[in-house]
Amino acid sequence: MNPSKSFQISRRSFLHRCSATAAATGLPLWFVERELAQAAEPVKPPGPNARPAIALIGCGGQGSNDAGNAQNFADVVAVCDVDQQHVARAAARFTKDGKVPATFSDFRKLLERDDIQGIVNGTPDHWHSLINIAAARAKKDIYSEKPLTLTIDEGKHVVKAVRDNKVVLQTGTQQRSNERFRLACDLVRNDRIGKLKEVTVWLPAGRREGPFASKPVPAELDWDFWQGQAPKVDYMTERCHTWFRYWYEYSGGTMTDWGAHHMDIGYWAIGLPAPTRISSKALSVPIPGGYTTIADYEVKFTYPNGVVFNVRSTRDDDPFGGVVNPAGQRNGIHFEGADGWIWVNRDQIKASERELLTKPLPETAARLYVSNDHMGNFVECMHSRKDPICDVEVGHRSASVCHLGAISLRSGQELEWDPAKEEFIGEHAKQANGYAKREMRKPYDYGFVS
């Protein structure tokens, strides 16, 4: 066959694939062509350890899902949890070719194994930092669920441990590896909607329930170990596992749960480390004896370049209150610029004018880090030793924005933040800085992993 004709057929096939992908995803054709062309570029084959051995610490639903994704690129050789039912389920799920993963109840024992190259940390938020620090010191690469930390101060310790020990850490804010969110941030960063003026994020409202009654600790659960650094309390079903997200002792409510995803995209698009002013309004109060996080809220961040970043909880299907709702979705991100707006969430991307999306960016446009598979990017970086798309500094700074919002809600004050020093300054600094760092219950403090 004539080589030029073969090229024409190949090109025709490529364009057909691009058109089909664009139609299926709603993404503009120029963006799909660029993405698929890059995906077609030859990839340097990995070294002899093509499938690294990894371990899962925290075997609940999200952790097991993460490890399931990791199994596409790596072998799960060990699992660990303080709930033995979780351990048993995970061991069964990740048994492969008759090889049953080793089981542990203390992650420190697991980290002693020399044959493990990396871990997936799927524990509740209040355990993320200590486990990540211990894994870094054990020279294990880390895929850590979001938010990266329970407090802002913990982030400084995690960053130091990861960098001192030269390990790879990927934060599980996987929306950065999604084409829609990357396209939105690419366009905003390149002033497609003009000078960025305002970002508004809608998050699902939290839970407002209680009071709850104490119950006997399940036989399979080490409740003291599960509580870790948090104050010791009686066991309640509503405190443990899935429900930990709604207690400040263990997490930060939807502000740090869903916020770790959508607020991270806002932070990515703005491109600055942190805001300098934070104000907020709690729209409901927790029920005594029930969940402690604030369920309904509004938070306003102001950045040094004048961009306003709003975060609002919603219980409605119409986050725009019936005024302007490009997508009709419960949660997502709205970018408002001098020349138009872009709305994006996990289902779709829309703009005030279709041309804002369909007009290609010039070849000289600044481009963000490209990853199309979050776990794949992590394992690829285990081989290359490059930083992944959500490295430790990104995870820390992104989580810090969420924590700043939660601290403003808890203090009830307008706050001033110094991004360079990473501390509150001004009139209400003392109270606010008290929330940025918490006392850890012994023995589950930094000495526990030294």
Beta-bridged to residue 57, according to DSSP, are 80, 121
User: How many angstroms separate the CA atoms of 144 and 70, rounded?
Assistant: 12
User: How many angstroms separate the CA atoms of 312 and 328, rounded?
Assistant: 16
Residue 378 class from Cβ within 10 Å (0-12 exposed, 13-18 middle, 19+ buried)?
buried
Strands (E), 241-371: 277-282, 297-302, 308-314, 332-337, 340-344, 349-351
What tokens were used for 44?
Answer: 């340097």
> What backbone phi and psi angles, to 5 degrees, belong to 68?
-65, -40
User: How many angstroms separate the CA atoms of 352 and 216, rounded?
Assistant: 55
Beta-bridged to residue 355, according to DSSP, are none
Looking at residue 254, the DSSP 8-state letter turns out to be G
Residue 297 Cα to chain centre, angstroms: 21
Kindly give the confidence (pLDDT) of every residue in the chain, 450 residues in length, as a single tens digit, with 9 standing for 90 and above.
555 555 455 656 655 566 666 666 778 877 877 776 666 544 444 555 589 999 999 999 999 999 999 999 999 999 999 999 999 999 999 999 999 999 999 999 999 999 999 999 999 999 999 999 999 999 999 999 999 999 999 999 999 999 999 999 999 999 999 999 999 999 999 999 999 999 999 999 999 999 999 999 999 999 999 999 999 999 999 999 999 999 999 999 999 999 999 999 999 999 999 999 999 999 999 999 999 999 999 999 999 999 999 999 998 654 444 444 444 446 899 999 999 999 999 989 999 999 999 999 999 999 999 999 999 999 999 999 999 999 999 999 999 999 999 999 999 999 999 999 999 999 999 999 999 999 999 999 999 999
> What backbone phi and psi angles, to 5 degrees, belong to 42?
-60, 140
Residue 431 class from Cβ within 10 Å (0-12 exposed, 13-18 middle, 19+ buried)?
middle
CA distances in angstroms from 61 to 53, 124, 285, listed in the order given: 21, 11, 29
pTM of the model: 0.92
Neighbouring C-beta atoms of residue 330, cutoff 10 Å: 16
CA distances in angstroms from 217 to 84, 123, 214, 282, 361, listed in the order given: 13, 19, 9, 33, 58
Contact predicate 78/101, CB 8 Å = yes
Contact predicate 330/203, CB 8 Å = no
Strands (E), 277-331: 277-282, 297-302, 308-314
Residue type, 250: Y
What tokens were used for 189?
Answer: 């960063």
Q: Given 3-state DSSP classes, what are the helix, strand and coil percentages for the chain, each rounded to the nearest 5?
A: 40, 15, 45
Residue 22 Cα to chain centre, angstroms: 27
What tokens were used for 385?
Answer: 């030793």
